[in-house]
Amino acid sequence: MSAHTFILNGAPVSVDVEDDVRLLWVLRDVLGVTGPKYGCGLGVCQACTSHINGKAFNPCSVPVSAIQPTDEITTIEGLPATVGKPLHPMQEAWLDYDVAQCGYCQPGQIMAAVAKVREARAAGHEIGDADFDEIRNICRCGTYFRIREAITAGAKNF
């Protein structure tokens, strides 16, 4: 066991856990932060998608030892605080379009959507069909079309 510190949803945290435990389990099993979901543990389904320093990543595929003390990890629980509001505009759009069905994949979908909008802008364009087609997050309820609608709407507000 060794101590690992990083910034989680705006506050520093320290955990005592083996180096190779993936961050998803540190978040869920050690820290009790359950917004990021397990869907495969293989970096495939993207249900655990969270942000590291503002970029989307899969905590299931990163050992805790790879996280630096200055790294800012944001899970769905910390997303509203990144814009200083009760809800992030993407979460508002999700509500407006009643996107969720079972809801299991939705935290990961929203975190992916926010990063995807930023990525498109960094590449010099607003998000569109070609960008949607790159989103790999599984929604087994099949609500993909509303996800596309909500991202389009949400992107207009941040």
Specify the length of the chain in residues.
158
* 16: contact with another protein by CB under 8 A: no
* 31: contact with another protein by CB under 8 A: no
Give the shortest CB-14-to-another protein separation in angstroms.
16
Nearer to another protein, 136 or 156 (CB): 136
- Provide φ and ψ at 11, rounded to 5°: -125, 140
Given 4, 7, 8, 56, the residue binding another protein (CB under 8 A): 56
* Secondary structure (H, E, C), 50-69: EEECCEEECHHHCEHHHCCC
Give the contact letters, 117-136, x = binds to another protein (CB under 8 A), - = no: --x---------x--xxxxx
Is residue 37 within 8 A of residue 107, CB to CB? The reply is: yes
* 45: contact with another protein by CB under 8 A: yes
* Residue (of 91, 157, 106) closest to 127 by Cα position: 157
Is residue 38 within 8 A of residue 24, CB to CB? The reply is: yes
Given 10, 12, 69, 95, the residue binding another protein (CB under 8 A): 95
Nearer to another protein, 5 or 132 (CB): 132
